Chain A
Amino acid sequence: MSGKQFFIDRYTELAWKFKETQLRQSIRINQTNAKGKNLPERLRSLGVEIEKVPFLSKGYWVAKSKVSAGATAEYLLGMYSIQEAAAQIPVTLFTALRGKTVLDACASPGGKTVQLADLMENSGTLIALDVSRQRLAVMANHLERCHISSTIVYNLDARQASKLNRTFDRVLLDVPCSGNFASDKEWFSRRTFADIEQNSKVQREILAEAAKCLVADGEIVYSTCSLEPEEDELNMDWAIKNLGLTIQKVDCIGVNGSTEVFGRKLDLQVANCKRIWPGETQGFFVCKLKKVGFQ
């Protein structure tokens, strides 16, 4: 079970007509570092034309650029990060991050870690985990470039997060996933259904561990850049039924999560998830889960 047509047929069943996409480069302004710097004007003077992304408060498309947007002094000074537009959404779905204890459970390469720290205004505590030491080195580079001061990074598998013996007010689960064709031109030839099932299994283990570490009334934002329901809606349905989590409505682009997937009826709360089909952005799936009541 693999191949381009196999996956396209699945997307058709989910009511989306496949189309090839061309991604636009986008940046995210780091508000803490860019405050009072008139960054759009500075970039314009370098020949980098940016346009506001309508659905993001700090996101801009790079419309035209005479220089590499990832090599300007402004970038190197941490005033902005290169971050795909849809990938900027998950962190913005949390309520009240300032002063909170936050876990970024699958943190490398650190784009969302920096975004979290920026929205937390370097207050509170941000714990970032990743299983790969090599990827953590890339993250350390980002943290230094963006002058992040409120983060502790551990080389730890998200499935062992409870070893930290801490509870968290907010947990970001930007879980390892199968990805999608919009950001990987070889995707259809490389991916099989077995990969998706394997990723789904790991994602559920991560979700279960995160639920253990979450305070009552705490929030988990779950995201993938996979278009496959096994990693998205089906996992959320499983989380509702097995982890005592509820799915909250979120205000962002995308279509509602499917509540009927390949003949299976799912909990109606799954409609509160957002599925972003590739187009202006890469494909993405996001949702916010809450642990309600006292434990």
Chain B
Amino acid sequence: MKPFEVFSSRFGCKVAFNQEFILEKGQRYYLLNPGLKRMLQGDFYYAGLYLGKVGKNGVFFPSFNLLNMLVDVAANKIVVDRKTAWLFICERDVFRTGIVKVMGSKRKGDAALVLNEFGECLGFGTIMDGLNESKGKVAVKDVLDVGDFLRREARGKF
């Protein structure tokens, strides 16, 4: 299984891509369409839909394209209220009080997508003790959120 398929399974779902259209370059993975595949040549920098990369620590770092693809199929999702959504994209963890709906696993250590009130994916996190307790503890720890686009710009690193 490719790293992005292993990653997807953490959300309680199974995704399978046609390997013919998956491209790996420097530990980064891209999903092409047939037209792009025909056009692709030589040493490209970026192609098609970026799925994510394997970092220096060997951990897969998903793209937001991949997370978006998981929204419809992932079992583990939480929907958060407006204020919590804003805090989450500012890299803050999610507390139980900010969660409007929980779908799928509540087991500590599992991954869950974090969705806003419109069902749009803001990122993902790791389920913590707080999801099963009333309040005061972190319910979902922020692992990656869309605010990362701004942080990458600030760091000058992508």
Interface of A toward B, CB cutoff 8 Å: 37, 70-71, 73, 76-77, 101, 124-125, 127, 133, 136-141, 143-145, 147-155, 164-166
A91–B43 CA distance with the chains assembled, in angstroms: 27
Q: When the two chains form the complex, which single residue of B31, B89, B116, B149 contacts A141, counting CB atoms closer than 8 Å?
A: B149
Top 3 nearest A-B pairs (CB, nearest first) are A76-B146, A153-B46, A149-B49
The answer to whether A145 touches B44, judged by C-beta atoms less than 8 angstroms apart, is: no
Q: How many A-B residue contacts, CB cutoff 8 Å? A: 89
Cβ contact within 8 Å between A73 and B89? yes
- Residues from chain A with a CB closer than 8 A to the CB of B26 are none
- In the complex, the answer to whether A151 meets B41 with C-beta atoms within 8 Å is no
On whether the beta carbons of B85 and A140 are closer than 8 Å, the reply is no
Report how far A31 CA is from B39 CA in the complex, Å. 26
Pair B89/A133 contact, Cβ less than 8 Å: no
User: Residues of A contacting B47 with CB < 8 Å?
Assistant: 151-153
Set B46, B120, B157: member contacting A136, Cβ < 8 A: B46
Interface membership of B20, Cβ < 8 A:
no
**Assembled-state Cα–Cα distance A265/B127 (Å):** 72
Q: Number of contact residues on B: which range applies?
A: 35 or more
Q: Assuming A73-B86, A76-B146, A125-B39, is B46 touching A149 (CB within 8 A)? A: no
Neighbouring B residues of A145 by C-beta, 8 Å: 64, 146, 149
CA of A124 to CA of B45, assembled, Å: 19
Chain B binding surface SS class? mixed
| A144 in contact with B35 (CB, 8 Å) | no
Closest chain B residue to A37, Cβ basis: B118
Q: A152-B46, A166-B39 are in contact. List 17 more A-B contacts (CB 8 A).
A: A73-B116, A77-B120, A136-B45, A136-B46, A139-B46, A140-B50, A140-B158, A141-B158, A143-B50, A144-B50, A144-B63, A147-B65, A149-B49, A150-B33, A152-B39, A154-B44, A165-B41
* A144 B44 Cβ-Cβ under 8 A: no
In the complex, are the beta carbons of B35 and A124 less than 8 A apart? yes
Residue of B nearest to A74 (CB): B120
Q: Which residues of B contact A144 (CB under 8 A)?
A: 50, 63-65, 149
Report A193 CB to chain B, min CB distance, Å. 33
Kindly state whether residue B68 has any CB partner on chain A within 8 Å: yes
Cβ contact of B85, chosen from A70, A73, A127, cutoff 8 A: A73
Min distance, Cβ A224 to any Cβ of chain B, angstroms: 25
Q: Which of A70, A152, A165 has the most CB of B within 10 A?
A: A152
Q: Nearest chain B CB to A56's CB is how many angstroms away?
A: 24
Flag if B50 contacts A152 (CB, 8 Å). Answer: no
Contact A141 B153 (CB under 8 A): yes
Q: How far is the CA of A154 from the CA of B49 in the complex (A)?
A: 15
The 8 A CB mask of B139-153 against A (1 = contact, 0 = none) is 000000011011011
Contacts of B122 in A (CB 8 A): 73, 77
User: What's the nearest-Cβ distance from chain A to residue B67, in Å?
Assistant: 11
Contact status B39-A127, CB under 8 Å: yes
User: Are A152 and B48 in touch, CB under 8 angstroms?
Assistant: yes
Distance (Å) between the CB of B25 and the closest chain A CB?
11
Assembled-state Cα–Cα distance A127/B122 (Å): 29
- How far is it, in angstroms, between the C-alpha of A189 and the C-alpha of B65 when the chains are bound? 44
9 contacts between A and B (CB under 8 A): A73-B116, A76-B149, A125-B36, A133-B45, A140-B50, A144-B64, A144-B149, A149-B48, A151-B48
